[in-house]
Chains A and B, each alone.
Chain A
């Protein structure tokens, strides 16, 4: 399964890079979202895959061996919410960008300067 998920992470990163290199500013935002997904998956997969054993303690004394690693999960949880904030900000920026410049083409912006 690791191989499959590794391929998935690779595809997500590839898509992110490809979209980040586009001239359309909206695709740039899509690339940013992909980058977030890819990184979350990277941390998640690299942190070790444990199926069916979430990081909850059932009692005061509980066997912790075989339990999934809570730290990457905490990191990703934070990253997801921050990702939402950043993406929302970027989307708004794109929206305002378009309202002001009347273009979604980055190159046009560079040449006008």
Chain B
């Protein structure tokens, strides 16, 4: 099997999923999970080889002229992501197949999920920037469909649109960044770009490319100040939140940052931007989550915080930081996926997600409680879960950060305290605490609903217990892939007594104290929030969109006023100004005034045509105007004859005659002329007309005095008889050399005739 084939089949599964569900019934989720699971096993089987240093590349031609290929590049980092996307995806499909049962169009929902999975998997294995961008956009689109799945709810539509606009904007920025990035390399090929990191750094396109790529990554990964779309996206069904908005899609931004870390990273701009944005996001996310009461909103804000942590770590870029980033990525995907699925389960069984209305659930669902508490333990960073390792590494990295550790460390500490607090709060308040009145008695979630959370927690537990034998092989190549200068560190559960361990203990203690005094604490945090942070980003965003729409309407009204003649006037004025500038800068025309080549009869004809033209323009009678048109037509015919255009002249005579007859039949039905325009308007139009007319005059003089012999006509003249057996070269051009053009032309006139026929027949009714 190959990566490309795998993706293609996955896409096909996504395409048939909505239709096949009818036949598969409730087993649809299980059946659809087979293929992602196969992919998971496939990549798992490649793991040893990849750890030996294998990099899998594949390439399919797409647009060779533009250097764009469908190519794939799988190294250790892509591998880790693939395993996450497909592994978690497998469980999500099983979960969703069951979770969505009561809702309509579940087949379509599963199809969207599979489509998203294809896109996400496509991003992580892309070997070409454009391929990556295409898949990136596909994740935005499928995410839009999934967030807005309950489209009858206005808030679902609004948050879907918000997510699409923000990530779509980021996607465009990313495309711009990729194009700029590719310019100095001359290729979109990822492997080549990764192998030559210095080319872009030496180029002056580095900064613009960096800014655009960062914009793309930050919007996708919900970094401050773009973070607000992610909590908004919680209107989506729980499988979506668990999959897209915690484990995979929001990590796409982090993926891009990490992927291009060897190329773009290490500079001052990179370090400072990522550190500042990351640390802000980390703390803001954690802070807001304190006072949230909706279970999914809490998880969403902690996700924002975690994404900030990841960006911070990548920005820091030290050996510890990169190790921490990869481990934390894995940790977070495992526990957050679990927590979101459990949130869905709790909502399903109790009918609410408000933690104030939850409590005492342990006795109803002990097994589910254990699973969720283990995930919370991982989130709190308590041994022996993998989360502990993640947090330890983050502390090590923060303490050793080369720049601004004095701000990173305290904020990192506070964030972790908040995580401990939230873990305690969620565990104790939901599973013990005061029991409210439930509408129906909650029960243990059924197997498909608990299977995913259970396995993810189990993985987290096993990896935490055996870090060096289990977690290391999974992550070591990912670490070296995104930071070739650094090594993967051997992971240990026990580091000995040191500063970091003391910090960990202190974190737990502070978290506990926070929980102990939560009632007073929540009140004061609320007060602070109301006083200083009342602004809602979502509202700002939508008012910005509204203002933008008002602006575009105004602009459209000004530019698209609906008066054809002003459109034309704009066009004429600008075109003639442009051409006049060109004429001005061209060589002066050498004009010999030679009266000997001006036969008197032709002078008379030209004067006649000009007179007829003036009469056609100013006449107040339509009949006179038409007769003048006839005079002009025949005058032109004479000029054609005088200058060797025999066929032209014959055609012109026929056409002019017919045209006058035709115009007469129409004019007969129209009202007589009325004066619509004021004298001022006439003068203005006359001025524009003069401007255009004179520039054409100069154009003719330019063309007539510069001699450019057209070789193609010489060819026609030479071969017309010998090859095409015709002496009338004009006719031979029409029916032989340029016959295809003529065919197009007679098609056009046939269509015009049919149009006229149709218009007249329609009028009869």
Contacts and interface: CB of A to CB of B under 8 A. Distances in A.
A76 B734 CA distance: 11
Nearest to B685: A21
B763 A85 contact: no
A46 B704 contact: yes
Given A11-B610, A17-B572, A106 B639 contact: no
Q: How big is chain A's contact interface, by range?
A: 35 or more
B716 A70 contact: yes
B648 to A, nearest CB: 6
B495 interface: no
Contact of A4 (B565, B572, B603): B603
Contacts of A68: 643-645
B704 A45 contact: yes
Interface in B588-628: 591, 593, 597-598, 602-603, 606, 609-610, 613-614, 616-617, 622, 625
Contacts of A51: 642-644
B710 interface: yes
B696 A38 contact: yes
A4 to B, nearest CB: 5
B568 interface: yes
A86 B561 CA distance: 26
Contacts of B730: 55, 70, 73-74, 77
A4 B598 contact: yes
B662 A91 contact: yes
A74 B669 contact: no
B733 interface: yes
B645 A73 contact: yes
B760 A92 contact: yes
B759 A96 contact: yes
A57 B639 contact: no
Given A6-B700, A64-B717, A58 B692 contact: no
A10 B651 contact: no
A78 B606 contact: no
B161 interface: no
Interface in B612-668: 613-614, 616-617, 622, 625, 629, 632-633, 636, 639-640, 642-648, 651-652, 655, 658-659, 662-663, 666-667
Contacts of A30: 616, 625, 629
Nearest to A28: B564
A71 B749 contact: no
B422 to A, nearest CB: 58
A4 B606 contact: yes
B718 interface: yes
Interface stretch (B28-36, B250-258, B750-758): B750-758
B699 interface: yes
A6 B697 contact: yes
Contacts of A29: 663
Contact of A95 (B655, B669, B712, B722): B669
B666 A22 contact: no
A84 B643 CA distance: 23
B733 A71 contact: yes
Interface string A55-91: 1111110101001111101101110111111111101
A46 B743 CA distance: 26
Contacts of A38: 696
B568 A80 contact: no
Interface in B710-745: 710, 712-714, 716-718, 720-722, 727-730, 733-734, 738, 741-742, 745
Nearest to B742: A78
15 contacts: A3-B701, A4-B606, A11-B613, A13-B697, A17-B568, A17-B572, A20-B565, A69-B710, A70-B733, A73-B647, A73-B648, A84-B749, A87-B662, A91-B666, A99-B763
8 A-B pairs closest in CB distance = A14-B693, A10-B697, A85-B749, A46-B703, A68-B644, A18-B689, A85-B752, A70-B729
Interface of A: 1-15, 17-24, 26, 28-30, 33-34, 37-38, 40-42, 44-46, 48-60, 62, 64, 67-71, 73-74, 76-78, 80-89, 91-96, 98-99, 104-107, 110, 113
Interface of B: 561-565, 568-569, 572, 591, 593, 597-598, 602-603, 606, 609-610, 613-614, 616-617, 622, 625, 629, 632-633, 636, 639-640, 642-648, 651-652, 655, 658-659, 662-663, 666-667, 669-671, 673-674, 676-677, 685-686, 688-690, 692-694, 696-701, 703-705, 710, 712-714, 716-718, 720-722, 727-730, 733-734, 738, 741-742, 745, 748-749, 752-753, 755-756, 759-760, 762-763
Given A57-B721, A70-B717, A81-B745, 7 more contacts: A4-B606, A9-B696, A17-B572, A17-B689, A41-B636, A78-B734, A110-B562
